[in-house]
Structure 1
Amino acid sequence: MPSFTLGIMALYLNGNKIEELPFFRRVLQEADRMNIDAYLFTPEDVDDGKRRIYAHVYEEGRGWRRRWVPFPDVVFDRCRYQKTPRFRKLREFRAKYGDLIYMNRPLANKSAIHQLLHKDKDIRPNLPDTVMYKGTTALADFVRKYGIAFVKPINGTGGRGVVRIESAGKGTYSVRGRDKQRRILPTRRLSLEGVGRLLGRLGLTESCLMQQGIELTLPNGRVHDYRLLVQKTGEGRWDVTGCAGRIGAARSVTSNLHGGGKAISVDRLLKHTFPSGSKAEAVKAEMYALGLRVVERLESHFRDMCELALDLAVDRQGRVWLLEINPKPAREVFRRIGEHEVYRRAIVRPVEYAKWLYKQEK
């Protein structure tokens, strides 16, 4: 008999499509091996009157099937932000069924998270200056101060709508990036007014951030960063599951895999910048330490959390910078670099933590 029921909550996209089905299948398979009854559902699958769910279940040899199931004991929320009525349904579900055990809570937007972390003196030195975008005059001052500025949506994900702006001399600016459909924007040389018009056409004038640019270009002209995954273990404590490097596609200002980026081992990528093994190891240790400091600080404020991914940059002096927080991280990067045990651990740990959490709550 199953020990408890785990419900993985997602959102439908583009009709009734669900993203990450291969990942969800792996989670359900691992749960089954641990004698845990698990299924996938969305807030739209809920029958409020009978308190039941028309869930997606995975059956070996038969694939995905639908069946009615009771409400879960524990909910693993994998719903990524989207500006649709479906996201409102998620909020309504969590408000109505607050009696369920949730492994994680929605985080605040990027600006609020930055302000929260900025209050911590041990994290502050690792944060690029980040402020709300308030027009081209402030943007020009920002570029003058830091050399490079990024403008990005306050709730954006996956590298969508990220624009890099750099002074090109004589009152002009070199601008490139990605639109909100993740399409690469060719490099343009524009006046300040032209930059403003471009940001307007891209929908990047309201609810957007300006972030201090960190130089991340490799000798081949491509940008790079690091994805650090921190998760709760089956004992309820934080641990770094793994870290991987990412190299962006040609002409891209972001390194996201969904945008054509390439995965590479963290050690191999660090050695591009720091041939000395001791320096690379010291930088890697600082990345791991920063990851643990950040998740502990966020958990003290937001409470229920089970995993976070940190997008980190390392400048040529070896300083580690926190670029973004991802509360609903993918783990595909580890499979792509051949770290199959890390990949499996990244899938298993949420299930192990769910089991631990259920025992604590009950």
Structure 2
Amino acid sequence: MSQPVLGILTLYLNNARQLEEKPVYRKMIVEGRKLGLDVFVFTPADVDNRGQRVHALIFDPGAGRWSRGWRPFPDMIYDRCRIQRSARFQQLLEFRSKYSHLAFLNRPLRNKWTIHQTFEQKSRFRPHLPDTLLYRSSADLRRMLKENPVLYIKPINGTGGRGILRIERPKHPAGRFDMQGRRQNRQIIAPRRVSLTELEAIVRRWCLGGRFLIQQGIPLRLPDGRVHDYRMLVQKNGEGKWELTGMAGRVGARRSVTSNLHGGGHAARAETLLKEWLGSGEKAAQVIQSAGKLGLDAAAFLEESFGALCELALDLAIDREGRIYILEVNPKPAREVFFRAGESDTYRKALRRPLEYALWLYRNKVAPPPPKKSAEE
């Protein structure tokens, strides 16, 4: 009997056909072989002109080498494609539309603003949402500054901490606003002080050509001045059920307004970081338990709202009182945070779970729910 086949769908980063997560895909292919699952990697650009087969990227664990080969379409598709500003992303949208009848483990989520609005519809999630507004004019900025001492300006489709501004209101009415941030290339913008008029002009220019959110800033600075938050991963298991895989802390680089690892941050065990932050191991354990329940509820609700998911990362802010806030969600999460935090078992579990879920789908011939309208774009 032939092995079930899973195709990891991704996008090339450039014309040199480089892949951002190739080392991760190699590990997943090795784990897949142990489970009896044949795994290969492909992009929409690798589909032949007749749309019947793909020029797959194949890894041979025995030889330790990558190669290319023509393969039929896989039984299931694991979509790892993130938003790009490129013709490659348009190819992806066309692929998803043309082959929507295939068995996708996961479908794209909507943008951050739509997800925020979706969460707001349910009382379960409202206490865990920072005050958030879609930026349309300086009036929106002034309103949010009046209600919140710290704000973040972030793109509705951004990832990796790119394109984010942090603004802190002065303690005195005549004072100047503290501003710092990260550009789209992750370059740190050094702190500076500006007047309200200057700030409004800066934000207008920052938001040109895209849509941005204004979000309440949760106090997250550690005693050394670095910001921190928590990455929680929930995934479908080998029985098709949502399960908490793990949670880890992220501490930002010096002078950074975000905690992203790609921006120079480092990872820490959630229990250790949260105990230091809250001052109590017992309180930390209670908060982690509550966060896990929140994550499982959020994943089930978003899947019900937008279509099939197999995993979801939630970036959480936890204030000094232990209140949990959902900063954003990511349906295409990296899992390196667990490896960097020294949690190798959790990291391996994070790699294997999508594969175990794919096998469960295949064996039970369960078709994931179809996509619900368009998403991401």
When normalised by structure 1's length, the TM-score is: 0.97
2:12 paired with 1:3: no
| Inter-partner Cα distance in structure 1 for 2:154 and 2:214 | 7
| Inter-partner Cα distance in structure 2 for 1:48 and 1:211 | 45
Aligned equivalent of 2:314: 310
Equivalences for residues 244-263 of structure 1 within 5 A: 244-263=248-267
- Counterpart contact for 1:152–1:204, Cα < 8 Å: no
2:325 paired with 1:321: yes
Amino acid at match of 1:42: T
Aligned equivalent of 2:347: 343
2:20 paired with 1:19: yes
Deviations 1:136-163 (A, max 9, x none): 2321221120111110001000000011
Q: Using a 3 Å threshold, how does the CA distance of structure 1 residues 68 and 309 change in structure 2: closer, same or farther?
A: same
Amino acid at match of 2:3: S
Aligned equivalent of 2:146: 144
SS at match of 2:275: helix
Aligned equivalent of 1:47: 48
SS at match of 1:58: strand
Amino acid at match of 1:146: N
2:89 paired with 1:96: no
Equivalences for residues 179-198 of structure 1 within 5 A: 179-198=183-202
Equivalences for residues 265-284 of structure 1 within 5 A: 265-284=269-288
1:62 Cα offset (Å)? 4.0
1:33 Cα offset (Å)? 1.3
| Inter-partner Cα distance in structure 2 for 1:50 and 1:240 | 37
| Inter-partner Cα distance in structure 1 for 2:51 and 2:249 | 47
| Inter-partner Cα distance in structure 2 for 1:140 and 1:296 | 36
2:77 paired with 1:75: yes
Select which of 126, 129, 133 maps to 2:128: 126
Select which of 173, 177, 189 maps to 2:177: 173
1:293 Cα offset (Å)? 1.2
Aligned equivalent of 2:57: 56
| Inter-partner Cα distance in structure 2 for 1:81 and 1:39 | 21
Amino acid at match of 2:320: R
Runs (4+) of structure 1 exceeding 6 A deviation are: none
Cα root mean square deviation, aligned: 1.4
1:3 Cα offset (Å)? 2.5
Equivalences for residues 152-163 of structure 1 within 5 A: 152-163=154-165
1:198 Cα offset (Å)? 2.5
Q: Using a 3 Å threshold, how does the CA distance of structure 1 residues 121 and 97 change in structure 2: closer, same or farther?
A: same
SS at match of 2:146: helix
- Structure 2: give runs of 5+ residues left out of the alignment: 367-377
- Counterpart contact for 1:153–1:204, Cα < 8 Å: no
Select which of 96, 104, 107 maps to 1:105: 107
Amino acid at match of 2:5: T
- Residue range with higher mean Cα deviation, 244-253 or 184-193: 184-193
SS at match of 1:151: strand
Amino acid at match of 2:294: L
Aligned equivalent of 1:65: 67
| Inter-partner Cα distance in structure 1 for 2:365 and 2:36 | 19
| Inter-partner Cα distance in structure 2 for 1:205 and 1:172 | 27
| Inter-partner Cα distance in structure 1 for 2:322 and 2:139 | 32
1:204 Cα offset (Å)? 5.3
When normalised by structure 2's length, the TM-score is: 0.93
Aligned equivalent of 2:373: none
- Residue range with higher mean Cα deviation, 10-19 or 243-252: 10-19
- Structure 1: give runs of 5+ residues left out of the alignment: none
- Counterpart contact for 1:151–1:163, Cα < 8 Å: yes
- Residue range with higher mean Cα deviation, 341-350 or 269-278: 269-278
1:172 Cα offset (Å)? 2.3
- Counterpart contact for 2:271–2:281, Cα < 8 Å: no
Aligned equivalent of 1:33: 34
1:340 Cα offset (Å)? 0.7
| Inter-partner Cα distance in structure 1 for 2:139 and 2:123 | 30
SS at match of 2:246: strand
2:360 paired with 1:352: no
SS at match of 2:313: strand
- Counterpart contact for 1:226–1:266, Cα < 8 Å: yes
SS at match of 1:101: coil
